[in-house]
Amino acid sequence: MDDVPEASLSPTLPGVHKPAPSVRIRGLRAYYGDAERVKGIDLDLNANEVTAIIGPSGCGKSTMIRCINRMHEEIPGARSEGRVVLDDVNLYDPSVDVIAVRRTVGMVFQRPNPFPTMSIFDNVAAGPRLANRRRSDLQAAVRTALEGAGLWQEVADRLSEPATGLSGGQQQRLCIARSLAVDPEVILMDEPCSALDPTASLRIEQLIDELKRRVTIAIVTHNMQQAARVADRTAFMLDGELIEVGPTHHMFTSPSDPRTEDYVTGKFG
């Protein structure tokens, strides 16, 4: 018996999406050994919004978002404290199944990381297969996920070819499709465009804009223009702390904190 409720694995009917959850991060601290690298962050990811996370290299952006789906604790010697509450479920509650957390809160990384030995189809089918989906369901799930990632038309006639034959931008959309195939409610993206050319990056940005209708999104980016284009709200981190969060246009035009202003105007970072 799979201990994940069947409902959370069903493909969502086209056009009928359950509302995405909000994520409330409270008192989050993250450590590598004794080194505290996330120092007590309170941050909300609003439902069906895109929240950009910006800040200089090494300030803890990746560490912070890895705590949201409990990946941080997989690193030897790493631990975290605090709460991450998805609607009303604390993802750090001992009763919560960590595998289910990672399905519900998907993640996309800087370098597209399709399973290199697998076909395009198998990359997307891998998650649903683990949930023992029937073969006919599997085909529908793969198609739906590829459509959701804006990739179906480009790959429909080559599903059995290796994923590694795709361009970088296509591979990144394949990774998004792989995450969509297990019906996530939140997607975390850690600099998803930094290995892509401008055209492929814009395609991902368009996709993010479509995806937020069904999922709640956090995106780490070092590209200010990208944050300005895709994010409803932007959060600025510095040295493991959250300095300021607000509507994106406000963060870029009239931030409250002088450190935010210095960063967004390129004085450091």
Ligand X SMILES: Nc1ncnc2c1ncn2[C@@H]1O[C@H](COP(=O)(O)OP(=O)(O)O)[C@@H](O)[C@H]1O
Residue with tokens 């399973």: 115
- Minimum Å gap between C-beta 60 and ligand X is 4
Among 12, 42, 75, 197, binds ligand X (CB under 6 A): 75
Nearer to ligand X, 55 or 106 (CB): 55
Q: Taking CB under 5 A as the rule, does residue 172 contact Mg ion?
A: no
Among 11, 21, 60, 112, binds ligand X (CB under 6 A): 60
Indicate which of ligand X, Mg ion, none lies near residue 58 (CB less than 5 to 8 Å, by partner kind): ligand X
Distances (CA, A) of 214 to 17, 69, 201, 256: 6, 18, 21, 31
User: How many amino acids of this chain bind ligand X (CB under 6 A)?
Assistant: 11
Query: What is the dihedral angle through the alpha carbons of 207, 212, 214, 219, rounded to the nearest 10 degrees?
Result: 90
Q: Please report which residue ranges of 161-212 form alpha helices under DSSP H.
A: 168-180, 198-211
Q: Taking CB under 6 A as the rule, does residue 63 contact ligand X?
A: yes
Q: Please report which residue ranges of 23-68 form alpha helices under DSSP H.
A: 61-68
User: How many amino acids of this chain bind Mg ion (CB under 5 A)?
Assistant: 1
Nearer to ligand X, 55 or 192 (CB): 55
Indicate which of ligand X, Mg ion, none lies near residue 21 (CB less than 5 to 8 Å, by partner kind): none
Interface mask toward ligand X for 107-136; x: CB under 6 A:
------------------------------
Nearer to Mg ion, 62 or 172 (CB): 62
DSSP 199: H
Q: Report phi then psi at 13, rounded to 5.
A: -65, 140
DSSP 3-state helix, strand, coil percentages of the chain (rounded to 5)?
Answer: 40, 25, 35
Q: Taking CB under 6 A as the rule, does residue 156 contact ligand X?
A: no
Interface mask toward Mg ion for 49-68; x: CB under 5 A:
-------------x------
**Contacting residues for 131 by C-beta, under 8 A, at least 6 apart:** 2, 4, 9, 182
Which residues contact ligand X (rule: CB under 6 A)? Answer: 32, 37, 55, 57-63, 75
